Amino acid sequence: MAAIIVPPKWQMPERSITPESIFCARRNFIKTFGLWGLGLVAGLPFGCGPNENAAKIGAQENPPVADLYPARRNPNFILDRPITNEVYAASYNNFYEFSVFKGSVYKKAARLKTSPWRLEVAGLVERPRTFDIDELLRALPLEERRYRFRCVESWSMAVPWTGIPMRAFLKLVAPLSSARYIRLVSFWAPAEAPNQSPTYGPWPYTEALTMSEAANELTMLACGIYGHPLPKQHGAPLRLVVPWKYGFKSIKSIVKIEFTAEQPRTFWNSNRPHEYGFEANVDPATPHPRWSQESEKLIDSGERRRTLAFNGYGEWVAGLYS
């Protein structure tokens, strides 16, 4: 099982393979060889398939604001579907720094050192500085929000995030009026993240939003999920959540936030601009060049649902694009 061929750059899964095939390729291999009957359940030996202990395996050693969970739930965000089973959400992850196999990310990401963790705030901002993550989160209001989450690969989940509204963060650091974009940068730690090699780069993973998108009420910096600190596979200790955009915009494990005048280059958009736009708003009417976006599959039940424009958040964000 170790002899998995490292796919060349253009074969990364966000670009070519369906989510189902990545998650279950190895499980099907095991099925084919009849090992289920021997009790060798996939996920235990091979890290494929939902693992009941995935959230524990990825748990942070020293999570920030651990005493503040569960946070008060913001009642303004109501779901139209059940909350995704946590076991599935914690066992099915995109985090390319660690693996291109969604079902093995939780094990690989456990190697990421998340403490101490600092967030650098730089660029066109009145108060540039570096925060210790615990100190930053204590300075801002923590709340829980239930959001839908839609990956560009056409799978989706619905989860309770814990975090701070990006708006509150912007108030704290005070961007200058010349700032037109916010650029977010993930970590660089090739010794811990086996895929941070030139084959997959350019690393670190980066993302960006316009200032009006960042200031939208929906935009969150999340530090928790399901009422506890984020397991590493979900982007501990701090990630972005922009629920009206495809999942790749929601960058994980952020170390730097920079305010810029020019539109920054971002990981997927600069690698494959025709397939992954900068804006990346969820839109059932615009197919990906290689697949339809009309429907999505819920990762736990397998149910298919029609994709919602702006992932159902048009009421909050449609005005940004008119």
Ligand X SMILES: Nc1nc2c(c(=O)[nH]1)N[C@H]1C(S)=C(S)[C@@H](COP(=O)(O)O)O[C@H]1N2
E strand map for 71-175: 118-123, 129-132, 143-150, 155-165
- Which residue's CB is nearer to ligand X, number 23 or number 96? 96
- Select the residue interacting with ligand X from 94, 156, 281, 311 (CB under 6 A): 94
- Near ligand X by CB under 6 A, which window of 18-26, 45-53, 251-259, 269-277? 251-259
Give how far Cα 194 sits from Cα of 10, 80, 155, 191, 236, Å: 18, 38, 25, 7, 17
- Classify residue 250 by its DSSP letter: S
Q: How many CB atoms lie within 10 A of CB 79?
A: 14
Q: If you count them, how many residues does the chain have?
A: 322
Stretch that binds ligand X, among 29-37, 54-62, 94-102, 130-138 (CB under 6 A): 94-102
Residues 247-266 that bind Mo ion (CB under 5 A): 247-248
For residue 297, the minimal CB distance to ligand X (Å) is 13
Query: How far is 278 from 259, CA to CA, in rounded Å?
Result: 17
Residue with smallest beta-carbon separation from ligand X: 247
d(CA 52, CA 63): 21
The binding track of 129-168 with respect to Mo ion, each residue x by CB under 5 A or -, is ----------------------x-----------------
Q: How many CA atoms lie within 13 A of 283 on its CB side?
A: 12
| Residue written as token pair 């089973």 | 85
- Number of residues this chain uses to bind ligand X (CB under 6 A): 17
Question: Minimum distance between the CB of residue 124 and ligand X, rounded to whole angstroms?
Answer: 23
Question: Residue 251, interface with ligand X (CB under 6 A)?
Answer: yes
Q: Which stretch binds ligand X (CB under 6 A): 23-31, 63-71, 249-257, 277-285?
A: 249-257
Residue type, 262: E
Question: Would the CA dihedral through 6, 198, 221, 242 be positive or negative?
Answer: negative
Considering only the stretches 36-44, 91-99, 141-149, 202-210, report the one whose residues sit in contact with Mo ion under the rule CB under 5 A.
91-99
Q: Which residues bind Mo ion (CB under 5 A)?
A: 94, 151, 247-248
Q: Which residues bind ligand X (CB under 6 A)?
A: 14, 93-97, 151, 186, 205, 234-235, 247-248, 250-253
